[in-house]
């Protein structure tokens, strides 16, 4: 079945450091891929998405490229801020699947 694997956290960085959170997936079809962010005490917010191979999703300085050959969708940001501290979830939605399949989440802590 479909699955999403994320790097384990927590990831602790200093402000202005470069961020990479790895995400790989297994799917039978050609899924759409998403990154969601969850701030403390809140629900999930859609951060960015990509719907086909080689698409790049971007938002608020974050980017991720849909790599079909490596089945990956790594999240990157060139310079993190303290306000980026949150939990990040990678997810996929495949045609015919009943619901989003989420990774286990990666907690990011950015220190001033």
Asked if 49 interacts with another protein (CB under 8 A), we say yes
Contact of 19 with 76, CB cutoff 8 Å: yes
User: Measured between alpha carbons, how far is 63 from 93 in angstroms, rounded to an integer?
Assistant: 19
User: Measured between alpha carbons, how far is 111 from 90 in angstroms, rounded to an integer?
Assistant: 23
Provide the 10 A C-beta neighbour count for residue 40: 7
Task: Specify the pairing of strand 11-14 against strand 106-111.
Answer: parallel
When binding is defined by CB under 8 A, the residue of 3, 12, 28, 45 that contacts another protein is 45
Asked if 105 interacts with another protein (CB under 8 A), we say yes
Residue 105 Cβ, how far from another protein at the closest point, in Å? 4
Asked if 104 interacts with another protein (CB under 8 A), we say yes
| Binding segment (CB under 8 A) for another protein, from list 13-21, 68-76, 78-86, 98-106 | 98-106
1 versus 112: smaller Cβ distance to another protein: 1
């Amino acid at each position: 079945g479909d699955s999403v694997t994320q790097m384990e956290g927590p990831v602790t960085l200093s402000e202005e450091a470069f961020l990479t959170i790895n995400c790989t997936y297994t799917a039978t079809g050609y899924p759409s891929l998403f990154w969601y962010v969850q701030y403390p005490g809140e629900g999930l917010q859609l951060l960015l998405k990509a719907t086909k191979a080689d698409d790049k999703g971007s938002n608020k300085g974050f980017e991720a490229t849909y790599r079909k050959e490596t089945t990956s969708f790594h999240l990157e940001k060139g310079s993190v801020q303290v306000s980026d501290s949150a939990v990040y979830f990678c997810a996929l939605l495949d045609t015919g699947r009943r619901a989003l399949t989420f990774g286990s989440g990666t907690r990011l802590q950015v220190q001033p």
